[in-house]
Amino acid sequence: GQQLNQSPQSMFIQEGEDVSMNCTSSSIFNTWLWYKQEPGEGPVLLIALYKAGELTSNGRLTAQFGITRKDSFLNISASIPSDVGIYFCAGPGGSQGNLIFGKGTKLSVKP
Amino acid sequence: KAGVTQTPRYLIKTRGQQVTLSCSPISGHRSVSWYQQTPGQGLQFLFEYFSETQRNKGNFPGRFSGRQFSNSRSEMNVSTLELGDSALYLCASSFSGAWTDTQYFGPGTRLTVL
């Protein structure tokens, strides 16, 4: 079945640093989604990408839909302590209401 | 606009028991999806309901079932609980379940099976 491989698994960075994470798949996706989950909460959508090559920003977050449609990247600039959480990439699972998720990148930010 | 709500937030059960979890979607959303989140397997799709009908199901045993009511509220049921069913169960609602619709997640129900 479809799988999303996300890396790195975890990151420990200093406040103010930039962060980069990525997601790859062996199959083509028509949509790439980036979610963030904080402790005790459900995932929250950060950025949605619908077109190959698309580059979209949401504040300090920038995500790109890879040209091959098999990968996507999320960058966070000038990280702050509230960026802490788990970042998931996701894509349509082939049926309504079905999303496939990567295993997540756990981000820790040291003040 | 109120978000997705899930009740209860925490549950402790013993093996062999059954459990029912509830999800109230965002007003106007007719699609409700359920996911299981565990440290080992991550987030996995359980099933999706739209207009009181299960349209799609993930790769889970028949012990996992659900239903949706006419007001779009949904319940999921797990029978004959096993230790491996311990997980965070998340529901998400969207307008129609289409891949272009944003799924909004609730805070989840943390189920512990002893």
- Residue A102 has what pLDDT? 96
The answer to whether the beta carbons of residues A13 and A107 sit under 8 Å apart is yes
- Residue B1 has what pLDDT? 65
User: Is any Cβ of chain A less than 8 angstroms from the Cβ of B45?
Assistant: yes
> In this model, does residue B98 exceed pLDDT 90?
no
Query: Cα–Cα distances in Å, from B87 out to A60, A64, B4, B41?
Result: 32, 31, 19, 10
DSSP type of residue A81: G
What radius of gyration do chain A's Cα atoms show? 13
The predicted-structure confidence for B50-90, as pLDDT tens digits, reads as follows 999 999 999 999 999 999 999 999 999 999 999 999 999 99
Using the beta-carbon criterion (under 8 Å), do B31 and A92 form an inter-chain contact? no
> In this model, does residue A84 exceed pLDDT 90?
yes
User: Which among B73, B24, B23 is positioned nearest to B52, based on CA atoms?
Assistant: B73
- Residue A3 has what pLDDT? 87
Using the beta-carbon criterion (under 8 Å), do A99 and B50 form an inter-chain contact? no
Give A99's pLDDT tier (boundaries 50, 70, 90). very high
Q: Which residues in chain B are contacts of A50 at CB distance < 8 A?
A: 100
> In this model, does residue A1 exceed pLDDT 80?
no
